Structure 1
Amino acid sequence: MATNIGMMDSAYFVGRNEILAWINARLQLNLSRIEEAASGAVQCQMMDMTYPGVVPMHKVNFDAKTEYDFIQNYKVLQDVFNKLKIDKHIEVNRLVKGRTLDNLEFLQWLKRYCDSINGGIMNENYNPVERRSKGGKERFVRTQKSSKSLQTSNTHDHAIGDGLGINKVAGTKLGRQCPVSSGVNSSVEIQALTKEITDLKLSVDLLEKERDFYFGKLRDIEILCQSPELENIPV
């Protein structure tokens, strides 16, 4: 199974056009640049096609715009890798920056891996459009619609209240609403801080993984240099 593919492997000589054609054909997309896959959603769906039912598609945000949202998608992907015992280090900090070479390299690896599982044959029973409808984007739209419905309902209720003469005690109602408004602001602030803490913790975890990865590489080089074959070679 192609989990550890050397940098000189033919997988890394596949061009960007071939990678884009592979993505577009498999997932019925129309990507024109490698950077468009930097959100991690494409990678999640490729794994969903390769291992149907393993990826929790409802957690994948196909409308991700920020690095924070990208990271959440890669968390889903890493969880899938862990579940399938795929030994692959995902360099999230690089991928979310949208740099072409970093994303191309990861997609080249992913193509080789998926091809090694399914023999490069497309799963004809897989409906990529339908599976994408399970993703976070649809849930986000529904949430917006629900919010708008609640706002319309509240506006309607206020209008009825004014018609019944309730505005005569506006001073009393405003006095009651102040603590609620304060509570809402506090809740929003807490959510923002919680999100920031989560983001920072994730960044620390990623940095630690990257540190361990490069430490392992340095250790391998050190062991190699101590081998008898290299000890007598003049520097």
Structure 2
Amino acid sequence: MLRPHKGSHRGDAPQNRSLNQQGKYQIAARNSSSRQPGKVLGCSNWGMAVNVYSTSITQETMSRHDIIAWVNDILALNYTKVEQLCSGAAYCQFMDMLFPGCISLKKVKFQAKLEHEYIHNFKLLQASFKRMNVDKVIPVEKLVKGRFQDNLDFIQWFKKFFDANYDGKEYDPVEARQGQDALPPPDPGEQIFNLPKKSHHANSPTAGAAKSSPASKPGSTPSRPSSAKKAAPSSSASKSDKDLETQVIQLSEQVHSLKLALEGVEKERDFYFGKLREIELLCQEHGGENNDLVNRLMEVLYASDEHESHTEEHEGEEQVHEQPQQQEEY
């Protein structure tokens, strides 16, 4: 649920907006003509940001594909997954686009590949939030891990924040990066499963057997092996490599399917939790009316754990009573 900035009424336009001749809200352009790329200017050039608040119960969200397409289109990037937003570089450039000069893009690591580089970018982002009085805590420790749900939740919020603050001015993201290549960070899943093939061959038993072959001993006359014996080690080595590659592919597919299943379970959990939370709020609003139905619903919401403990105790008592009867039968 979106809520306006403090001190404003629902539906009012921010202070830096004005009505145009067509009756639509038009945001006044901020003073950015004298801006030098990469230079942090004073807060008087921007004004304050319009804060956006959202809840997990009722909010309109975009799909993962739409949100990535939006990021790539605005910033001229080549991201393929939501998890790649964990580097924080895209958010830093978004802030430079919304509030020119509030962040130094020269300090942003657009080619970040390691976690400490991601943290560096999010520190810059947090500093820009503070300058613009953005009332939002950045969950840095969760985002830099590259988990899908954490990064999806944050980009969904940031999209609403962007829509509330963008004034429609032109912006060249490539020029603003001043020649820095904005390469997407590696996918966390690919980092785990892209193992070098040489390691399998080096540790295979055929490689050790080839090193310890008696043909390498000095002073001995090696016998001429047959063509069948030459072909046997190479065929067994290639077969073992293919088996290992097949196992890696199968395990990668299993992990991918498990990730998709987990995402579905998490979404379903969040959906039903939101429904329960909404029911709880409604019950709290009408709890003082001595409504029997409301009181019963509150008992169901809050007494579940206690009910389970009573059920376990009751089952334990039944097992105790059943044991003497079984002994008498024997």
Tell me if 1:27 matches 2:72: no
Between the aligned partners of 2:120 and 2:79, the Cα distance in structure 1 is 21
- Aligned partner letter, 1:26: I
- Matched-pair contact (CA < 8 Å) for 1:58–1:134: no
Between the aligned partners of 2:91 and 2:285, the Cα distance in structure 1 is 43
What per-residue deviation string (whole Å, max 9, x for no partner) do you get for residues 161-218 of structure 1? xxxxxxxxxxxxxxxxxxxxxxxxxxxxxxxxxxxxxxxxxxxxxxxxxxxxxxxxxx
Equivalent of 2:63, from 2, 9, 15?
15
- Aligned partner letter, 1:55: I
Equivalent of 2:117, from 50, 59, 69?
69
Higher helix share goes to which structure? 1
Tell me if 1:116 matches 2:164: yes
Deviation at 1:128, TM superposition (A): 0.5
**CA RMSD of superposed structures (Å):** 2.7
Q: What is aligned with 1:38?
A: 86
What per-residue deviation string (whole Å, max 9, x for no partner) do you get for residues 48-93 of structure 1? 1111111111211111111111111101101111111111011111
Deviation at 1:2, TM superposition (A): 4.3
Equivalent of 1:54, from 80, 87, 102?
102
**Rg larger in 1 or in 2?**
2
Deviation at 1:9, TM superposition (A): 3.9
Matches within 5 A, 1:188-207: none
- Matched-pair contact (CA < 8 Å) for 1:63–1:136: yes
- Matched-pair contact (CA < 8 Å) for 2:52–2:164: no
Alpha-carbon distance change, 15 to 99 in structure 1, aligned in 2, over 3 angstroms:
same
- Matched-pair contact (CA < 8 Å) for 1:50–1:114: yes
Between the aligned partners of 1:228 and 1:50, the Cα distance in structure 2 is 39
Number of aligned pairs? Answer: 145
Alpha-carbon distance change, 58 to 136 in structure 1, aligned in 2, over 3 angstroms:
farther
Q: What is aligned with 2:224?
A: none
- Matched-pair contact (CA < 8 Å) for 2:86–2:118: yes
Between the aligned partners of 1:43 and 1:5, the Cα distance in structure 2 is 18
TM-score, length-normalised on structure 2?
A: 0.40
TM-score, length-normalised on structure 1?
A: 0.55
Q: What is aligned with 2:141?
A: 93
- Aligned partner letter, 1:4: Y
Between the aligned partners of 2:179 and 2:104, the Cα distance in structure 1 is 9
Between the aligned partners of 1:80 and 1:91, the Cα distance in structure 2 is 15
- Matched-pair contact (CA < 8 Å) for 1:57–1:135: no
Alpha-carbon distance change, 93 to 32 in structure 1, aligned in 2, over 3 angstroms:
same
Matches within 5 A, 1:206-221: none
Q: What is aligned with 2:127?
A: 79
What per-residue deviation string (whole Å, max 9, x for no partner) do you get for residues 99-131 of structure 1? 111111101111110001126x4x32x110122
Q: What is aligned with 2:53?
A: 4
SS of the residue aligned with 2:102? coil
Equivalent of 1:106, from 149, 154, 159?
154
